[in-house]
Structure 1
Amino acid sequence: MKNNHYRLDKVVILSRHGIRTPLQNTLEFLEQATPFKWPTWQHPYGYLTTRGGALEVYFGHYLSQWLENHGIKPSVTMPEVFVYANSLQRTVATAQFIIAGAYAGYDITVNHKYPIEKMDPIFDPSLRDDSPELKQAVLSDIEETNKAEAIFKNLAPAYEILSDILDYRHSTLYAQYQCPLADIPIKLHFKKNEEPALLGALAIGASAVDAFLLQYYSAFPQEQIAWGRINDLAQWQQIVEIRNQYVNLICHTKTLAKHSATLIINTISDLMQQQNKVNLLVGHDSTIASLLGALNFESYQLPNQFETTPIGGKLALQRFQHSSTGEYFFKAEYIYQSFEQLYNGQALDANNPPEHFQLKLKDAPLNSDGFYTWKDFEKRLNIYQAK
């Protein structure tokens, strides 16, 4: 790839927040899914942790080096950086720590619109419409993606592993349903001004796996991560797929992706017209998954990471200008810490960089240097401008 012919002109980095504590709205059924006691945390539920903040400082430091290597270095008077976060503690704090690592000493404002813990519509996956027509379209997408329940058949071994880890057979949930964990009925929760959800086996499984991942990323002692009941990476790989499929079905499928991503896509389109060369947006896994679905990116598997939307991961939407023709080109990369990097908590730099993975657009040609024309990507952004 002849990158020396291309100059990075502008980038929008959409980041998932860093390592947080478990979400309070999952605690009730998590406690019912196992006879074991879940660990306590030193931060409120859903908040960025101290370790999460430290890792975002490391990530910010790396990003500033990466941008400088591409010729983007802020001046004292004009940092050329715009930052906007969802108005939750974990997203605002993530943005603050990234900027502290990237541009310590510069007067860069972390913008957010509302008081802390009020969701910003730009990042909010809650339904603006719960009409029967929209619900049926969502159900049709899920059925099409599911392909006659093939997903759940493929997840059967993962659910067996998860059931053993939870000791589900001795749980309150098993006493209630009297069936395997994977067979707990799944129901689409679809109500205006609330987040859509696939209640039942998928939500329980995804929430349990999320809790275990947070323990792992927080470097809990091995005997405390899933009560010491996960023995190898192969088990991790299988159970994390439950969470991946939940995110895919509830965020990435066509109808819900377009419904959720319109405002963030319009924001990105607007930022591409502004002066700032570096734009940082901090949201959630749902933000990234819905954006990738709505803009019709190809499916992917990130190397050295089991999650498809890893915690702290950054989607870098980049506009390049060709040095001789002046034409603009597009490249999208997922920049993220590997499974082991998150656990080890090491500083990131040129000698220990995060992973970079180039994402592909469906139905768009790459040139011989591995870039898309900017017009091909811009067309996708413009679809949402009138909505």
Structure 2
Amino acid sequence: MIAKLIFIVTFIGASFCLELKQVVMLSRHNIRTPLTTNLKLLTPKRWPKWNGDTGYLTPKGRMLEQAMGRYFADWIIEEKLLIDKCSRNQVLVYSNTKERTIQTAKSFAEGAFGDCAEVFYKNMTGMDPVFNPIIRNDSEEFMETVLSDMQAQLNKIDLKDPLLRLNRIVDIKNSEYCKTENICDLSEVKNKIFFEVNKEPDVAGALQLGNNLVDAFLMAYYDGMKEDDVAWGRIRTAEEWESLIKILKAYHKIRFQTKLSDKDAASTLLKYLVDAFHNGSKKLYVLVGHDANILSLMSAMSFKDYTLDGQFERTPIGGKVVFEKWHDDVNGGDLVRVRYVYQSSKHIRDGVEASLLHPPLEALLQMEDCAVDENGYCPWNDFIRKFNIVMD
């Protein structure tokens, strides 16, 4: 018989023994090609060539995800949650239907468990409902309230400086977009909110255009392209990146972190997680989706603000929100710890493979109404109560 792991946590005047009982993680896919093909209209410059279709996982993204899988498998076995890397009946790797999520999930599973774990995804052309961050509530009151809140957030945003920076980077004054649409300054483009039932919330205009451009630059940076091929060498410093990333953060915050709409967009994912926590027969669940899934879930669950050192993004490519259930052998109760496990922007660009010797970065996460101790542990019953309140 395998002996139970005794995990000692010591803090002022007390200690207790913890045993890891379950891990549920929500992952964003790894490095992909840009999502849009119309970027050429926004600049007279030639874009770098990508090998792969629009929105597909890149070979480097596959390699990094395999390494992340090995890291987590080694950690989980070290903690005695699983006996070895061939615990097929105790692991579920579940992906959305997009190519980049399926291939990320397969890469994680391959790195973690070789051929001893299968990836489950639904055979359908559209988004899997569990991962689909669409609006489902069609009540008039709900729609009016959310639209008002989204507009209020939009009115507060001041992105003039980063948008002017984008103008200079892409040389928009000499672009086809300027010639045909007579829009030659992104900071002057109006934003329009789109909020419809059975569709993702969206914001067309400067935010969307800026997001698409910065996202393409960021993926080129992550994939390790030469500096002159990343925004034509026009982004050189961390400060310049941070300025431009404000556009991404604002775009995603309005779309997926507006109160009420966040819960609605994350409702199917929340239900799946609650079922995994309450009735799940697996010791390890790995769900592979998108930044929208992480953002809407964390907003709906009222996670406190957090900082990811070494990262430009709030939801880094390949990053994982890891829910850990621990049993306190001394006091007889269960605890939860939630971490954001991720790689720094530089480590992704440099292709640094995560391992127990060189682990990825992490940040402890906290939720409102689920007080944590100094080691980041929250009572399990408080955690589940929080889920139940959100689900009501």
The equivalent position to 1:324 in structure 2, one of 325, 330, 338, is 330
The equivalent position to 2:301 in structure 1, one of 295, 298, 308, is 295
Check whether the contact 1:328–1:374 (CA below 8 A) recurs between aligned residues: yes
CA drift at 1:363: 3.3
CA drift at 1:378: 0.5
Matches within 5 A, 1:311-350: 311-350=317-356
Deviation track 1:212-241 (CA, whole Å, cap 9, x = no partner) reads: 111011111111111111121211111012
**For residue 171 of structure 1, what is the aligned residue in structure 2?**
175
**For residue 130 of structure 2, what is the aligned residue in structure 1?**
122
The equivalent position to 2:261 in structure 1, one of 247, 256, 265, is 256
The equivalent position to 2:378 in structure 1, one of 365, 368, 372, is 372
What is the rounded CA distance, in whole Å, between the counterparts of 1:77 and 1:299 in structure 2? Answer: 36
What is the rounded CA distance, in whole Å, between the counterparts of 1:322 and 1:177 in structure 2? Answer: 65
Q: What percent of counterpart residues are identical?
A: 34
The equivalent position to 1:218 in structure 2, one of 205, 216, 223, is 223
Q: Which moved more, 1:279-288 or 1:253-262?
A: 253-262
Contiguous gaps of at least 5 residues in structure 2: 1-8
The equivalent position to 2:47 in structure 1, one of 38, 50, 55, is 38
The equivalent position to 1:181 in structure 2, one of 171, 177, 186, is 186
User: Per the alignment, in what secondary structure is the counterpart of residue 370 of structure 2?
Assistant: coil
Determine whether 1:161 maps to 2:170.
no
**For residue 202 of structure 1, what is the aligned residue in structure 2?**
207
Check whether the contact 1:81–1:278 (CA below 8 A) recurs between aligned residues: yes
What is the rounded CA distance, in whole Å, between the counterparts of 1:144 and 1:322 in structure 2? Answer: 45
1:167 partner amino acid: D
- Report the TM-score when normalising by structure 2: 0.90
What is the rounded CA distance, in whole Å, between the counterparts of 2:188 and 2:140 in structure 1? Answer: 26
1:11 partner amino acid: V
CA drift at 1:383: 3.2
2:25 partner amino acid: I
CA drift at 1:177: 4.6
2:326 partner amino acid: F
Contiguous gaps of at least 5 residues in structure 1: none
User: Per the alignment, in what secondary structure is the counterpart of residue 365 of structure 1?
Assistant: coil
What is the rounded CA distance, in whole Å, between the counterparts of 1:82 and 1:64 in structure 2? Answer: 13
The equivalent position to 2:111 in structure 1, one of 88, 96, 101, is 101
**For residue 6 of structure 1, what is the aligned residue in structure 2?**
18
Cα RMSD for the two superposed structures? 2.0
Q: Alpha carbons of 1:74 and 1:84: their partners in 2 closer, same or farther (altered >3 Å)?
A: farther
User: Per the alignment, in what secondary structure is the counterpart of residue 203 of structure 2?
Assistant: strand
**For residue 244 of structure 2, what is the aligned residue in structure 1?**
239
User: Per the alignment, in what secondary structure is the counterpart of residue 140 of structure 1?
Assistant: helix
What is the rounded CA distance, in whole Å, between the counterparts of 1:145 and 1:185 in structure 2? Answer: 14
What is the rounded CA distance, in whole Å, between the counterparts of 1:368 and 1:232 in structure 2? Answer: 35
1:81 partner amino acid: V
- Report the TM-score when normalising by structure 1: 0.92
Q: Alpha carbons of 1:376 and 1:131: their partners in 2 closer, same or farther (altered >3 Å)?
A: same
Check whether the contact 1:141–1:255 (CA below 8 A) recurs between aligned residues: no
Deviation track 1:319-351 (CA, whole Å, cap 9, x = no partner) reads: 111121120111111001110011011221123
What is the rounded CA distance, in whole Å, between the counterparts of 2:70 and 2:16 in structure 1? Answer: 23
CA drift at 1:105: 3.8
User: Per the alignment, in what secondary structure is the counterpart of residue 218 of structure 2?
Assistant: helix
What is the rounded CA distance, in whole Å, between the counterparts of 1:384 and 1:365 in structure 2? Answer: 17
Check whether the contact 1:241–1:306 (CA below 8 A) recurs between aligned residues: no
Check whether the contact 2:223–2:349 (CA below 8 A) recurs between aligned residues: yes
